[in-house]
Structure 1
Amino acid sequence: MGRVIGFELNSQDPEKAAAFYSNVFGWKMTEPQWEYWPAATGEENNTGIDGGISRGPSDFPHGTRIHIEVESMEDAISKAVINGARIVSEIMEFDDFFLAYLVDPVGLGIGLVQKKQDE
């Protein structure tokens, strides 16, 4: 089962958005990487779903995407496309995970995340 492991808020002014969520809701923001400001929304004894705020790309300049963890990026993308999704960003590799962006059949943006296996 793909479980929601995070979120991404897209904005054309991510610094302003990060300040807003930090000041209003107490989210802990860390230093940005790749114009992505990681956000912790809970504490050790009261966890939340963490995510981040990023500069929205041209295909998704504003909005919210959930990130869903999958075991196999290729299998998940194949099933999604068969069921009406559209790929907006092919598989990207980061230090600890792979990430791809899709739009579901009703226009909602989602991110697929596959963690790298420990070697």
Structure 2
Amino acid sequence: MDSKHIVGKIVGAAYVTNDLDEAKNFYANVFGWSYRPASTPFDNQAFLALKDDAVVASMGDYPADRHPDSKPGWRIIIAVEDVEAAIQAAVESGGKIILSPSDKRANGVGMVQDADGAMLGLVPLEAVSKFKFNQQRMEDDNQVVERLRRLSHVIG
């Protein structure tokens, strides 16, 4: 299946916070979300946020080795054809590299900060299906859990 039609589109969302319990309560009360624990190799907690049994986002607290420029808030994940080229374009446009896809923790995904400080995850097309939270169901979210486990540092 040709997935080029999603290049440049948002394919996922992750929320990183200093107070995970408060954030989970807020989104549960406002949107009716429930949560399922997600494993992580880092010193932090992670959850998949669910609505009507569908994964809609991920949530986590900060790992101990987070990037110093990382602030609490939402991160959007955008599909790109070439992560390195997207990172270069971001830097040339005033952005900052937070995580290179060549970093062993990144698993091929990049993270940049735009000129205003917003954090953006850049995911290659071949990995997009693992980030399309709004289309994943509980019974097949194991791939999402595995990708989030590998990327828990990236979202922070």
TM-score bracket, normalised by the shorter chain, equals: 0.7 to 0.9
Extract unaligned runs of 5+ from structure 2: 1-6, 128-156
Which position in structure 2 is the counterpart of 1:54? 60
- 2:75 pairs with 1:69: no
| Greater displacement, 105-114 / 14-23 | 14-23
Query: Comparing both chains, which one has the higher relative contact order based on Cα–Cα distances under 8 Å and sequence gaps of 6 or more?
Result: 2
TM-score of the pair, normalised by structure 1 = 0.73
Q: Paired residue for 1:108, among 110, 118, 139?
A: 118
Identity of aligned residues (%): 28
Instruction: State the number of aligned residues.
Output: 109
d(CA) in 1 for partners of 2:74 and 2:46? 13
More strand by share: 1
AA aligned to 1:101 is M
Q: What residue number does 1:21 align with?
A: 27
In the alignment, structure 1 residue 8 sits paired with structure 2 residue 14? yes
Q: CA RMSD in A?
A: 2.4
The aligned amino acid for 1:3 is: K
Contact 1:42 1:50 in 2 (8 A): no
Q: When you count helix as a share of all residues, which structure comes out higher?
A: 2
